[in-house]
Each structure stands twice: as C-alpha cells, then as structure tokens.
C-alpha cells in the first residue's frame, strides 16, 4: 500500500492523498495555524457578544477580547513563516490557554456566588462555566501547530534533517 501519491500536480485525488499523508505524518503546521487564526476570529466574536450581553460588568471580561485576537496575526503569519510558527504563535497560544483557564475559574466563582451556590439551576442560568475552555482549545490548536512539521517539506536528506535539528 502506497501512502504517498506519485504526483501532486494532478489535483483532486492526488491533493487529498497528499493532505492525508501530511496529517498521518504530522505535517500540518500551516493548516492548523490557519485554523487557529480562524478559530480566534469566531471565538473573539462570541466572547464579545456574550460579555456585551452581561454589560462587561467585571473589568476582567475585557481580557479575552484583547488576548484571544493575538492568535489571528500570529496564526496568519505562521502560515508563511516557520520562525513565527515556533516563536510568536506558541506565546500567543499559551496566553490564550491561560486566559481560558482563568475564565473558567471566574465563571465557576460567579456561579458559586449566586443564591444557592453551585446548583444545577445556577450552572444553567449563571455564567457558562465551560465556555472559556473553548477559547483554551483555540490556544491549544496554536500550541499543537507549533509542535508539528510543515506541509510540503518532505526533504529527508541527513544534512537537511541535521540543519533542522531533527538528527
């Protein structure tokens, strides 16, 4: 069974086969970087609408509005630059993961401060406890992208591997 297509210039099935090979071999840094940027756009919009509905009652509600969008330029730049993918993207992504964990704590604290404390009703009616973890997933995608290898970089020569530090 051949994992790699003979040629990638044929389009269609050859393109799909190449993409599948890249995923199987951990070579989808660029794709995951782009998905991180897109996820950050959608997540930021959702966070803004949710926190705006709560009138930004706590100043901490502004933090994810400023932190999550850092993944947008970092993710886009990572598509074009391996250096950015291994330096800037992990920093932005780690900040997003930490902010998501902080948000989960703050949302849980908000639920516990409602009359009755942590009850099924308060978990449904209060701040969404697990929503900040969705932002953390966007950050996690960026961290994972920084660990993967780039697509289209299939040079397996010993000299090239040594230069990249893959020995």
What's the distance, CA 24 to chain centroid? Answer: 19
CA distance 106 to 101: 9
Beta carbons within 10 angstroms of residue 150's beta carbon: 19
Q: Which residues, at least 6 apart from 48, have a Cβ–Cβ distance to it below 8 Å?
A: 65
| pLDDT for the residue 167 | 55
Q: What residues of the chain score a pLDDT lower than 70? A: 1-11, 152-167
> How large is the C-alpha radius of gyration of the chain?
20
> pLDDT tens digits, residue range 117-154?
999 999 999 999 999 999 999 999 999 999 988 876 65
DSSP string, 29-49: HHHHHHHHHHHHHHHHHHHHH
Burial of 65 from C-beta contacts in 10 A (0-12 / 13-18 / 19+): middle
Nearest to 110 by CA among 54, 41, 62, 30: 54
| pLDDT for the residue 43 | 97
Where do the structural domains in the chain lie, given as residue ranges?
29-150
Q: Which residues, at least 6 apart from 7, have a Cβ–Cβ distance to it below 8 Å?
A: 14
| pLDDT for the residue 137 | 96
| pLDDT for the residue 3 | 47
Are 67 and 48 spatial neighbours (Cβ–Cβ below 8 Å)?
Answer: no
């Amino acid at each position: 069974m051949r994992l790699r297509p003979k040629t990638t210039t044929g389009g269609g099935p050859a393109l799909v086969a190449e993409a599948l090979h890249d995923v199987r071999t951990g070579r989808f840094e660029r794709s995951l970087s782009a998905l991180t940027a897109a996820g950050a756009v959608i997540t930021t919009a959702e966070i803004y609408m949710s926190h705006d509905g709560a009138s930004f009652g706590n100043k901490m509600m502004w933090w994810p509005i400023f932190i999550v969008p850092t993944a947008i330029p970092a993710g886009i730049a990572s598509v074009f630059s391996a250096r950015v993918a291994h330096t800037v993207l992990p920093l932005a992504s780690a900040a997003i993961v930490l902010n998501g964990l902080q948000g989960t704590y703050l949302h849980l604290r908000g639920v516990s401060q409602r009359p009755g404390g942590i009850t099924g009703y308060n978990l449904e009616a209060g701040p969404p406890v697990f929503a900040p973890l969705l932002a953390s997933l966007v950050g996690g995608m960026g961290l994972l992208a920084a660990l993967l290898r780039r697509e289209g970089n299939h040079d397996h020569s010993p000299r090239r591997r040594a230069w990249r530090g893959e020995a």
